[in-house]
Structures are given as C-alpha cells and as structure tokens.
C-alpha cells in the first residue's frame, strides 16, 4: 500500500495534490512503525528487536522484501513541502501567541536588534546548503577521504626503483628460461621423430602428415562448434524459463527499459520542480494582489468590530476598559452576566428534567422487576490509533477536495488559483489582525489617559519576576555563548569536524539478503546473527525516518523512547561507517565527525574538551537534523582494564577526555524533540566498556560478516559492477564458500584489485579464474573465530540477551556447577 502511494506521489506533477498526499505518506510510515512495535512486544524472543516472520511469509508465499520499509524518496525531495504545508494549512493562532505578539516589551526590541546584527540560523535546506558552500569556498576546503589500501606499501623513491629493477630482472630471467625450455622441447621432439622414422614406426611422407593434421583440426573444430551450440541452446532454455537474464547488444542496452525509465523519471522530476517553483511564485503573487485589493476593507471591518467590542465590554463591566487587545479573542469564553429572568428560567428547566427522569426510572423498574441485568454496550476495541484516524481524515479530505475538481483546463495542470485564494485568506487576515491590534492598543492607552488611569503607575505585579528565571545553560555552553552559530560552524569546517560529502551515500548500497531460517533459530539456545537486511531495516526505522521527518520522530519517541544514540559494532569493512554517512546523506543532515583521529590535536587548551563538545552540540541542535559520528569509540569509552594499561598513552587520553561532557550534554542539552543522533562505531569490542555502552547508547546493532549465500551474491554483484563478466562455468559458489570470515569491504577490494582496465580488456580471450582472487584476498582483512565470538558475546551483554538466557536456563531447571558439587557431597 505504501509503495503504491509513494509511486503515485512520485508520478504526480500537480504541486497542490502532492502536498495533500504527503501527510498520508508520513502517516502510513507511522502506522507501519506502530505495527512493528506490536510485533516486537509479541516476539518469540522477549525484548528482542529482531523479528523473524519467514514462516508466515512462506505460508503466504510472499517475498521477504515486503517487510522492509524502504527509504522514502520524498526525504530526498528538494521541494521542501513542510514549510508550505504549514503555510497553506494555517490554523488559528492560539490566544497566548497573540497575547505575546501584542505585548512587546523593550527587552524584546533589544534582543531583536542584537539578532539583526548576527546572521540568521537557516531553517530550509537551501539556506543551509548556502551556508555550507559559502564556508567551503571561503576557506577552500577540499574533502579528503581516508582510503585504506591494503595492497599499497609505504616506501621512498630508492626503494621503489630497487623493487622495479628486481621485478624487471626476474621478468627477463623467466622469459629467457621459457625460451631455453621451448628450444629444448623442440630438439627432443625432432630427435623423437627421427627415431620413429628409423625404426619404421612413422613414415616421412608429407601427405600422410597433412591428413592426420587435418583430421585433428576437424575434430577440434567440430567439438568446439558442438559445445558452443549446446551452450547457446542451454542459455536460451534458461532465459525462456526466467532463470537467466537475456544478453543484450549495445543497441539493446541503449534502448533498454531501465534506461528509458530513468530518463522519464529525470524528466518528470524536472517538471515537478518547475511546477513547484511556479506554485510558490503564484502564492506570493496572489497573496499580494488580494492584499492590495482587499486590505483596506478588511482593516476597516476589523477595526470597527474591535471598537464595538470595547463599547460592549464597557457596558457589560460597569464602564471598565479591557486590559489589552488580546482579550478580544477571549470574548467567546467570557460569559455575560445573566439577568434575574434568565436565572429563573434555568431553574424551572432543571426541575422539569428531574421530574421526567423520576418517571422514567419508575417505568423501568416496573417492567424489569427484580432483574438486575443491565444491557452493556460492546464496542470494538481494535488497533485504532491516532495515526489510523488521521490517515482516514487525510484520505477523506483528499477525496472531498479533488474528486469533483475539473482538471481539463490548462491552468489546472500547474496549480488551482481558487484554492490558493482560499488558503491565502487566513494569512492576510492574520497579518492585518496584528496591525489592527496595535491600533487598538493605542486607542486603549488614549482612553485610559483621558480617564486619568495611567498604566505606568500600576506596580503591584512584582511577582512576575519568577518568569524571568531562565534555565541555566551548562557551563560548557557558556564558553561559546558569545559566538554566533555561523562562526562556530566555520570553525568546525576548518578543523575538519563538519563535513559535506561530494557524493551521496545510500542505504541501498548496503547489500545483503534476509535470514530465511530465522524463526527456526529463534527456538534454539543461541542467538542468531543479525541479517544484513535487518540491519538495513533498523537503520532506516530508528535513524533515517526520525531524522527526516518531525512527525515520525515524535512517533518513534513515543513508542520506543527517545533514541539519541546508536552503537554500530562489527569487524573492519562490514559497512558501519558507510551506514552512518548514508543516514546523513538520505536526510540531508549535517555530518559532524568527532572521531579520536580528528580531535586528537584540536582544542588542547584548558577546558578545550568542554568547548569542543559544546560547539558540536550547539551547532547540531541549531542546524538539525544532524549526525554526530564517533569512529573508534572504544577510545572514548575504554574498558577499565585497558584504560589502566594505556594510562600514559596520549591518544587514548585525548579521546576519552570528551566522555564526561558528551554524556552530560546528551542528557541535559538535547531534548526529546531534537533530531540529533550520535552514532558510535567500533571494531575492537574487547577494549570498550560494557557499562558505558549500555548507559550511553540507546540502540545497539551488530554488523556481522556475510554468510555463504550473501557472499555468493556479493561476489557476483561486485564483479559485474567493476566491469567483469563470468562464464556459467565460473565457480562462484566455491568462491563464496572459501571466503568464510571475509567482510563486504574485503570482497569489494579484491574485485577492484583483480578487475583492472587491462584485465577487463583481456576478458574476451582470457576469462576470469578462481585463482586470480586468492592473492588479493590474502592481503585483505578477515575475521577470525575468536573475534567473531568476541563481537557476539559483547552484543549479548550489551543488549541483555546474556542475562535472558541465564534466566531461561534457571527456569528450565538446568543444573549449575554449584548444584552438581552439592549433589556429589550428598553422595
């Protein structure tokens, strides 16, 4: 349902329709998350977020991909509909906000002048990108991405020359050796033919030799042709059965359906952006024109209405004046004093109602007699939540607005003018209301002066000083209170903490399939590994969706609690850093890197760590959504034993200095409504504190190395991506089997090393062999059995799975070592 609605949203060009569909999309995602929360509650393994429904999917004959929430494409939409949704669906301002606007003090004006001097904090995506680009251009910052190349060695020029000379001499020696061997073989062959002719075993006639040679060539050619024919028939059969993709020519590739679809999508995207730009311009144009034509009439009407209210107020309150113009909006709440006749009529009506109730009660008792049974109303108590009700309201609103619209006119394809006029009217009224309220305030002040009651003499309300008690800022934030957000952001970009990626990272790049026997493993004693598809889902649900949408963030906070931090643990090359960057790229979040390698030599002055953390937190909060990334977080949260051993180490000390301040500001400064996420990554869990990982991080995700099935798919994907081609006889299953323990990054590096430009050109004459990948694989990282067990144990302890298994074992009555000893003593 969600995928269909999202496809509908993507294909629409009309901006007003898209704005009405967008809330339904968000509500659908919220409803899916609510269902997921219920599944976690009723999970076979209590308190586990890994829900396996493979047995249900098998019964329903569904693809497991239907369970995965895709990253919404509207999060990457540059049209920023949130701002205009508020603009067009403007609700009536509350009385408190109007009261605050009508009562502006001198202190507010001073603050306004200070704020005018400082640059405004950007709110929209375009304004934020303008800030980032401006800072990058001014400081000439270039993205320096760290590339770990396992096949490269550090050496100087002399060593490089010696290595080249050594390899060249070896190459020349091997070539000479091959020439000597070929000469020797030819000499032996000539001697053998002479011997056979001498002994009469072979004739020296040329015709017989030619006949034998032609027969041999014919056999070989016929065999090649037959094998090629059979191979072609086999491929055609596999293609007919749908077990193999059809090979396409260059012309077919250019005219392929996916490429056409991509071109159509790009064209439609451009049309949507143009239509949205026209729509925004139409809003301002129609609003200005309507205000110009109707402003004076509306102002006069409002002014007369408020002046009549003042007259009525004085008449009803004994000549008293209202305190402020804000009381005009409370006039419906204030009840007028009732006359004696009205009070007498009310009392008579109450007596009449009581008499009717008594008569009804007597009738019911006579009919029912001594029966005490009362009919109960049974209401359906299904899973109806606020999201379901709001979704129903959104669909009803869409159908009411758009079903009866005439879409045949040319102007309608761009936008509906009449709708804009209706939606802009409240905005114009609100702007004029503020101006009229100021005039009414002046009129009230003049009337009070005429009556001799000056407001300045009233000084009884000194108790209101309690409102001036502002929340105390943390001590660390006071260090940077004098600096503007732009200055702090500029500083972070220069130091390399704030980053803007040159290429976007996508969650879809994290390849991996589902665990198809997860429900069976749930019944076992040991915890199964998180599948790669489940990792993708968890990062989307708990990271990307809350960062990208405010309404979804509120739902996640309500159902799962406030998720402010996530810990990614797993071996090197398992995709932890890529997923952290994907969360920032998918949601256009600010990426702040406070990894130990970056903060090692910055802010080294006194209280420098407090200043660093406060700067990062303030920038992240004011320019949210934001992702604060901590790589090698075992240095920030070291285990006690490791910390004692590395007491004199500067690197560990410099990294752990931000631990206390980071924890304080996470609790006190970041609120539930803030879309700021702290992501920590570690590949050495032995050096990290379990207690700190439990207390600081709200969500823990284990990134294991891929299983055999996923490794097979990864090899095939990366070989094709790097320009390679595999024959049907290529043993890709064997390659997936022998790479047990190798991570996705290691497999990708091996493919990039083997499939160079020269090797791709030579694929036609020399196809790929399994042996070519063995050498590059030996230089990449692999996970040992001990490391795998360490990750699993740490994950069990952090998530509480270890304690749960112990409790289950005790409940089942399994004997411990102490019980066995007692039993032996009894004997």
Mean pLDDT in order along the chain per 10 residues (827 residues): 80 82 84 80 74 78 79 68 44 41 43 52 76 80 61 77 90 92 91 82 71 88 90 85 72 68 82 83 84 83 83 78 78 60 71 58 46 42 70 83 72 74 82 84 81 52 48 70 83 85 85 77 66 87 85 76 86 88 88 85 75 86 88 85 45 65 84 88 87 87 88 88 82 88 89 88 86 86 86 85 72 58 53
In this structure, which long-range contacts are made by residues 19-25, counting pairs with CB atoms below 8 Å and at least 24 apart in sequence? 19/81, 19/84, 19/85, 19/88, 20/394, 20/397, 20/398, 20/401, 20/402, 21/398, 22/74, 22/81, 22/85, 23/85, 23/390, 23/394, 24/391, 24/394, 24/395, 24/398, 25/72, 25/74
Which of 325, 298, 620 has its CA nearest to residue 488?
620
Cα separation, 490 vs 792, whole angstroms: 41
pLDDT at 409: 65
d(CA 532, CA 537): 9
- Please report the pLDDT score of residue 98 as a whole number: 44
What is the pLDDT at residue 179?
92
What's the confidence (pLDDT) of residue 650?
40
Neighbours of 122 (CB within 10 A): 17
Residue 187: per-residue pLDDT: 92
The Cα 247–Cα 261 span in angstroms is 19
pTM of the predicted structure, to 2 decimals: 0.74
Q: How far is CA 446 from CA 37, 329, 440, 524, in A?
A: 61, 21, 10, 83
């Amino acid at each position: 349902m969600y995928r269909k609605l999202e496809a509908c949203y993507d294909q629409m060009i009309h901006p007003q329709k898209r704005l009405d569909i967008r809330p339904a999309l968000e509500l659908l995602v919220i409803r899916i998350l609510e269902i997921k929360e219920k599944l976690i509650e009723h999970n076979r393994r209590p308190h586990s977020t890994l829900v396996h429904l493979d047995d249900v999917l098998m019964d329903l004959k569904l693809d497991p991909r239907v369970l995965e929430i895709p990253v919404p494409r509207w999060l990457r939409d540059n049209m920023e509909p949130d701002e205009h949704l508020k603009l067009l669906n403007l609700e009536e301002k509350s009385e408190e906000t109007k009261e605050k606007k009508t009562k502006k003090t001198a202190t507010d004006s001073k603050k306004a002048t200070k704020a005018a001097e400082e640059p405004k904090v950007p709110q929209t995506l375009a304004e934020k990108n303008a800030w980032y680009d401006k800072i990058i251009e001014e400081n000439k910052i270039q993205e320096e991405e760290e590339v770990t190349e396992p096949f490269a060695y550090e050496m100087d020029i002399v060593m490089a020359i010696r290595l080249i000379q050594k390899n060249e001499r070896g190459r020349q020696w091997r070539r000479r050796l091959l020439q000597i061997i070929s000469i020797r073989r030819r000499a032996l062959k000539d001697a053998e033919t002479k011997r056979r002719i001498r002994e009469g075993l072979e004739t020296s006639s040329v015709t017989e030799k030619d006949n034998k040679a032609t027969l041999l060539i014919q056999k070989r050619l016929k065999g090649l042709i037959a094998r090629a024919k059979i191979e072609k028939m086999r491929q055609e059969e596999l293609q007919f059965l749908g077990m193999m993709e059809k090979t396409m020519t260059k012309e077919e590739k250019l005219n392929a359906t996916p490429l056409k679809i991509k071109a159509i999508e790009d064209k439609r995207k451009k049309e949507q952006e143009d239509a949205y730009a026209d729509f925004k311009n139409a809003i301002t144009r129609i609003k200005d024109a309507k205000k110009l034509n109707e402003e004076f009439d509306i102002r006069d009407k409002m002014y007369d209405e408020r002046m009549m209210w003042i007259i009525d107020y004085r008449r009803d309150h004994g000549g008293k004046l209202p305190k402020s113009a804000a009381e005009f909006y409370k006039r419906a709440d204030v009840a007028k004093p009732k006359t004696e006749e009205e009070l007498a009529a009310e009392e008579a009506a109450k007596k009449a109602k009581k008499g009717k109730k008594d008569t009804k009660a007597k009738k019911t008792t006579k009919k029912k007699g001594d029966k005490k049974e009362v009919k109960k109303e049974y209401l359906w108590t299904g899973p109806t939540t606020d999201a379901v009700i709001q979704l129903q309201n959104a669909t009803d609103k869409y159908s009411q607005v758009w079903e009866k619209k005439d879409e045949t006119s040319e102007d309608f394809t761009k936008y509906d003018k009449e709708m804009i006029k209706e939606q802009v009217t409240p905005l114009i009224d609100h702007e004029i209301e503020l101006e009229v309220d100021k005039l009414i305030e002046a009129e009230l002040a003049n009337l009070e002066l005429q009556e001799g009651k000056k407001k300045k003499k009233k000084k009884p309300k000194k108790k209101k000083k309690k409102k001036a008690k502002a929340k105390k800022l943390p001590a660390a934030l006071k260090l940077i209170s004098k600096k503007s957000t732009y200055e702090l952001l500029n500083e972070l970009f220069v130091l390399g903490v704030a980053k803007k990626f040159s290429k976007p990272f996508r969650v879809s790049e994290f390849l991996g399939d589902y665990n198809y026997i997860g429900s069976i493993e749930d019944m076992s004693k040991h915890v199964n590994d998180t599948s790669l598809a489940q990792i993708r889902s968890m990062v989307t649900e708990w990271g990307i969706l809350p960062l990208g949408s405010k309404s979804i963030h509120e739902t996640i906070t309500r159902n799962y609690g406030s998720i402010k931090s996530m810990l990614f643990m797993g071996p090197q090359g398992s995709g932890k850093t890529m997923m952290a960057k994907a969360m920032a790229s998918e949601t256009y979040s600010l990426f702040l890197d406070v990894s130990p390698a970056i903060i090692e030599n910055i802010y080294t002055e006194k209280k420098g760590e407090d200043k660093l953390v406060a700067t990062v937190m303030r920038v992240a909060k004011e320019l949210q959504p934001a992702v604060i990334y901590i790589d090698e977080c075992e240095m920030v949260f070291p285990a006690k034993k490791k910390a004692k051993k590395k007491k004199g180490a500067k690197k560990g000390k410099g990294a752990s200095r931000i631990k206390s301040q980071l924890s304080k500001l996470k609790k006190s400064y970041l609120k539930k409504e803030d879309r700021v996420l702290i992501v920590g990554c570690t590949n050495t869990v032995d050096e990290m504190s379990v207690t700190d990982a439990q207390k600081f991080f709200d969500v823990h995700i284990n990134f294991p190395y891929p299983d055999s099935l996923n490794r097979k798919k990864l090899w095939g994907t990366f070989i094709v991506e790097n320009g390679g081609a595999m024959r049907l006889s290529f043993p890709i299953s064997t390659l997936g089997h022998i790479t047990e323990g190798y991570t996705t990054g290691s497999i990708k590096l091996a493919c990039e090393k083997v499939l160079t430009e020269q090797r791709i050109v030579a694929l036609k004459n020399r196809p790929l062999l399994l042996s070519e990948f063995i050498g590059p694989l030996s230089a990449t990282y692999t996970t040992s059995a001990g490391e795998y067990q360490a990750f699993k144990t740490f994950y069990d302890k952090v998530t509480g799975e270890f304690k749960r298994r112990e409790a289950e074992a005790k409940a089942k009555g399994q004997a411990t070592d102490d019980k066995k000893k007692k039993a032996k003593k009894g004997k």
